Structures are given as structure tokens and as C-alpha cells.
Amino acid sequence: MKYAYYPGCSQETTSAEYNRSAVEVCRALEIELVEIPDWNCCGASSCHAVDDRLAHALVGRNLAIAEKEGTDLAVVCPACFLRLRKTRKEFRDDAALREKLPGLIDMPYSARYEVRHLLDILANTVGFEKVAEKVKKPLAGLKVVAYYGCYLVRPPEVTGIDDPENPQIMDTLLKALGADALDWRGKVECCGGSLLLTRRDIEGRLVAGICEAAREVGAEAIVTACGLCQHNLETGQPGENPLPVFYFTELMGLAYGLDARPWLRRHLVNPASLLKKHGFN
């Protein structure tokens, strides 16, 4: 199985461990993620607030490059996922954008191939049975909450890989790895996103609420599919003993017996003692 792959800026720096763990667990599942050449920033949480045409053009260049691989495009960052899917959808729905986009990016684009989140690929193409077959060390007894945040599920008509109010896809994956995925009220709450850099007061309050909801049900860690969420949750937690925050791909790697140390070493909340408690070193 082969996909064109768009890592996105954060996965090169702040959340490089997300990128690396994603590529490695995919390799274990015989999924080849082919990073598209010379991709650019998708504009993320800023460009849509400033200029529509530019937002579509920055995304369009990546879509056009990816199309040359002749496969669907796999994405891990939910914000990139939303931007890429939104431009592709508007390109298909809106004749005016169809007409002007190739000129703006100086490349042909047809919107032939889908943009898919890795979770969707694992659930609906690979299948969670196959994902479970590769487990060597089940995450038995590890109490986690699956945190979806915004863009995996909203807007439902653009990204919506699962129910927008009570998604299950990541919970099901975590259960397939043997973990105890707890039901909780914070799964689709917003972490404040890029307000981190401008209005820490707002972002901190949102993060505190999410972490409170996780503790309420007795979670030992939070699991996310987003670099910005991971960063906000790690750095914005109030109190003495912050909960570790994992990428779902890191937990897959641990359960598959891959060497997770290079990924986990980069965390700002050290998960070592929690993992030791559950027999992972």
C-alpha cells in the first residue's frame, strides 16, 4: 500500500516525533508514505483569516505536487488535513476556483485523488483487525483518553472522519492496542490552537478544562492526533503532575515493540515513569 504523504511544518520541528512515529508504524503495516517533494506550508491557522485566494493557492501547490504521485494523499496534522480537504472540495464545487487555481500556482490540478487522514486509512483501508494483529506488547491497563480536538471531526462536511460530537475512531484504535480508552467529556473540545502564541490566558483556560475532564475519569495520559494540541496540552497543564500526552502513532509503536525512545525523549512532559509502571522501558 502506498500513499503520497504531506507531513506539514510542525512535523518537521515541534512535533517531529509525530512524523517519525507515523512513518515507522506505517512501515510496520507495509504502508509506504512517500513524502511529496518540496512541499510548502499550507497556511494553517493564519492564512484563511487574511486572504482566501492566497489560502487556496498555498494549499493548491501542495495538492498539485501530490497528484503527480498518482495516489491518495495521506496527512497526519488535522489543521493541514482541513486546509487540504477544504481547497480540494471548493475546487470541485466552485467553477471560479477551478478556473483560476492552475494559473495562480502555475501547475495543473484535477482533484482526482482524495486527501485522507492516517486514522481514516488505518480504520477503513487497513482495518483495525490488521492493526491489532501486529501488536506484540499490548498496552494492557494503560488508562487513556482519546482527544480529537476540532478538525478531525469539524466541519463535518469537509473533514468529518467520524461523528462530530462523539467520535470513536481513535478510541477503537487504542482498544485494538490493548489500552483502556475511557469515555470522557473532553474529546471534541478546542485547545485554543494558535492562541498559544498570542492569548496564552485563553488557551491556558481551555487546556485546563480539557485536562480536568481527563483526570475526572482517571486517565493516566491523553492521546492526540495533532501537533499543536499535543504542545498546548503539554505546556499549558496546571498543577504539579501533568499528564503525559502521546500521539496515537507513538502508542502504536510501543505496542508494536518499536524503539519509541527517540520519540518520547522529545516530550516536554516526561512519560517514562508512567510507561515503567506498565512494564515499558
Residue with Cβ nearer other proteins (129 or 197): 197
* Edge-to-edge strand list for the sheet holding 180-181: 180-181, 143-147, 221-224, 245-247
**Nearer to other proteins (CB atom), residue 45 or residue 172:** 45
Q: Report in angstroms how near the CB of residue 130 gets to other proteins at its nearest.
A: 31
Q: Is 95 in the site for other proteins (CB under 8 A)?
A: no
Q: Which is nearer to other proteins, 96 or 273 (CB)?
A: 96
Stretch that binds other proteins, among 25-33, 101-109, 138-146, 247-255 (CB under 8 A): 101-109
Q: Are 3 and 122 in contact (CB under 8 A)?
A: no
How far is 77 from 6, CA to CA, in rounded Å? 9
- The residues in 242-281 that bind other proteins, with binding defined as CB under 8 A, are 265-266, 268
Q: Assess 240 for contact with other proteins (CB under 8 A).
A: no
Count of residues in contact with other proteins, rule CB under 8 A: 57
If the CB atoms of residues 77 and 123 are measured against other proteins, the closer one turns out to be 77
Residue number with CB closer to other proteins (92 or 205): 205
Residue number with CB closer to other proteins (12 or 183): 12
* CB of 114 or CB of 189, closer to other proteins: 189
In the complex with other proteins, which residue's Cβ is closer, 201 or 240? Answer: 201
41 binds other proteins (CB under 8 A): yes
Distance CA 184, CA 171 (A): 11
- Is residue 96 involved in binding other proteins (CB under 8 A)? no
Within residues 131-190, the interface with other proteins by CB under 8 A covers 150-151, 154-156, 164, 188-190
53 touching other proteins, by CB under 8 A: yes
Q: Which of 1, 54, 140, 217 binds other proteins (CB under 8 A)?
A: 54
State the SS3 of the chain: CEEEEECCHHHHCCCHHHHHHHHHHHHHCCCEEEECCCCCCCCHHHHHHHCHHHHHHHHHHHHHHHHCCCCCEEECCHHHHHHHHHHHHHHHHCHHHHHHHHHHHCCCCCCCCCEEEHHHHHHHHHHHHHHHHCCCCCCCCCEEEEECCCCCCCCCCCCCCCCCCCCCHHHHHHHHCCCEECCCCCCCCCCCHHHHHCCHHHHHHHHHHHHHHHHHCCCCEEEECCHHHHHHHHHHCCCCCCCCEEEHHHHHHHHCCCCCHHHHCCCCCCCHHHHHHCCCC
208 is an interface residue for other proteins by CB under 8 A: no
Is there a contact between 226 and 209 (Cβ–Cβ < 8 Å)? no
One residue of 2, 28, 32, 48 binding other proteins per CB under 8 A: 48
Residues that bind other proteins (CB under 8 A): 9-10, 12-16, 38-41, 43-54, 56-58, 61, 103-106, 150-151, 154-156, 164, 188-190, 192-195, 197-202, 205-206, 231, 235, 265-266, 268
